[in-house]
Structure 1
Amino acid sequence: MLDRLAPTDRDLVVFPEAFARDFGEPGSDLSAYAEDLAGPFATEVERVAAARGSTVVAGMFERSTDPERPYNTLVVRGGTQASYRKVHLYDSFGHRESDRLLAGPIAPVVVDVCGWRVGLMTCYDLRFPELTRRLVDAGAELVVVPAAWVAGPRKAHHWRTLVTARAIENTVYVAAVGQPAPRYTGHSLVVDPLGEIVVETGPGDAAEPVVLTAEVDRTTLAAARRTNPSLANRRL
């Protein structure tokens, strides 16, 4: 799937949360699907990234110190190597992600991709603005948010609103990549630092994945930070 969907001639390719293996039925055991960061999935991500000449981000379940609760991890391979373990577990809207997954350390992960500083978050992290601000304080100019945003009433509205808010309040680009309908919300989108939607898909269909392409540019970033100098003006 990685090899089939990863486009060519792109500096950064972002796949959704839990791309290696879906969450399965609510409450199901995920430990059997956990791998090490040097395991088959991360190795395949690295191979595809090398073949495309890109940096690739994709979600997996990673073995942790608790054999029954893996980490929900983003692996970054290609032009740079890193990993991010999801900090905020989805104990909300009737779900209990912490029953089967372990939260990662509270530390911002920012990587360099072709001269851009890229911050990493996962899904439910989007609802916690302090994490995005810590990424920006660590230098992030683009924040990527792989997600499996569960579908339901108001959920698409929350998703699009929060992605846009994180971009505006931090004057950064946000690239939010969601698993598709019917189980999830879809609506992958890229928002610029003034809150304009650069590109967006609809709910999508798991049977027909969609590839979105967007370009970020420093002129837009600099103009946004001149127009809305909220980072410079903050007092807390």
Structure 2
Amino acid sequence: MRIAVVQFNSGKSKEENLDFIKGKIDKYSGKQDLVIFPEYSMIKPDFNDRNYMIDVSESITGQFVEEIRSMTMKREIAVIGNFVESRGQTEKPFNTSFAIDNMGILFGKYQKLHLFDSYGYMESKVYNEGLRRPEVISINGIPFGMEICYDIRFPELSRLYALKGAQMITIQAGFFKGEYKLETWTALLKSIAMTNGVFVVASGQSGPEFIGHSTVISPAGKVIEELGEDEEDITVKIDMSEVTSYRENVKVLTARRRDFYDISGL
């Protein structure tokens, strides 16, 4: 599967961000099967202004997602994006990822379950925690699950995806800078890959506030491609047979001792 991972620093203009996204879709049409954009790619959030976030939010059938959907259909390329999903004029919105195939069909949606209320940030002031049950979806025959940023600190989610058949996990992030944050990011991504035997494809925000470092990691924990802090892209082709090979050798799913640690739901 051919994947483009886009790393950019979104701004406060939905129109400019949308034009940037459409430009990338156009760029990779016919060259890649899937383009992944980071968290906050619709608009940069303001964690201190709930009303602002409500005002900029849109429904899944709103202009932002619809224009991307139309573009994927015209350019015959799949997209995983992120937007501020409206819950009405008075309720905090969701931080939502969406997946659109190369025929323009919306085939997946994930609402961020774990909100970033750490290190002085309070995402829960302006977003509502997700209410949809995470689902494994497929693109080009490849089953995968979607996560958003802070979700990667909760191993139950990626394990749930793997046990439901996921062979790839996509991560969209605006991972804020701070002490040991890059080390944390890298360690968690590798852990998700190796402990579940999945490819990890992570797209991050660039710019002064964020670490960037969009990354693609193999099931064995090999960093296939990694960016720095600047605005740039990864293009990579992944071989899904590596998932089967790794899981046959390292039985991270089948050798679990559920007689000692039977976790409800897992």
For structure 2, list consecutive stretches of 5 or more residues without a partner in the other structure.
1-19, 259-266
Task: Report the alpha carbon displacement of residue 65 of structure 1 after superposing the two structures with TM.
Answer: 5.5
Alignment-derived partner of residue 234 in structure 1: 256
2:129 to 94, 103, 121: 103
Output aligned runs, 1:53-72, within 5 Å. 53-64=76-87, 67-72=90-95
- Cα distance in 1 for residues equivalent to 2:117 and 2:44: 17
Q: What's the TM-score once normalised by structure 1's chain length? A: 0.93
Task: Report the alpha carbon displacement of residue 113 of structure 1 after superposing the two structures with TM.
Answer: 0.5
Q: How many residues align?
A: 231
- Cα distance in 2 for residues equivalent to 1:146 and 1:189: 11
Task: Report the alpha carbon displacement of residue 68 of structure 1 after superposing the two structures with TM.
Answer: 3.7
- Cα distance in 1 for residues equivalent to 2:76 and 2:96: 22
Task: Report the alpha carbon displacement of residue 106 of structure 1 after superposing the two structures with TM.
Answer: 5.5
Task: Report the alpha carbon displacement of residue 78 of structure 1 after superposing the two structures with TM.
Answer: 2.3
Identity of aligned residues (%): 30
Alignment-derived partner of residue 178 in structure 1: 204
- Cα distance in 2 for residues equivalent to 1:175 and 1:22: 22
- Cα distance in 2 for residues equivalent to 1:176 and 1:122: 9
Output aligned runs, 1:106-117, within 5 Å. 107-117=133-143
Kindly indicate whether residue 149 of structure 2 is the aligned counterpart of residue 123 of structure 1.
yes
Contact 1:108 1:138 in 2 (8 A): no
Kindly indicate whether residue 58 of structure 2 is the aligned counterpart of residue 35 of structure 1.
yes
The SS at the match of 2:253 is helix
Contact 2:101 2:139 in 1 (8 A): no
Kindly indicate whether residue 43 of structure 2 is the aligned counterpart of residue 21 of structure 1.
yes
For structure 1, list consecutive stretches of 5 or more residues without a partner in the other structure.
none
Contact 2:111 2:132 in 1 (8 A): no
Output aligned runs, 1:200-215, within 5 Å. 200-204=226-230, 209-215=231-237
Higher relative contact order (CA 8 A, sep 6+): 2
Output aligned runs, 1:79-98, within 5 Å. 79=102, 80-81=105-106, 82-98=108-124
Deviation per CA, 1:54-76, whole angstroms, max 9, x where unpaired?
A: 21011110012672410000121
Distance 1:66 1:226, change over 3 A: farther
Alignment-derived partner of residue 222 in structure 1: 244
Contact 2:198 2:243 in 1 (8 A): yes
- Cα distance in 2 for residues equivalent to 1:62 and 1:218: 32
* Structure with max Cα Rg: 2
RMSD: 1.4
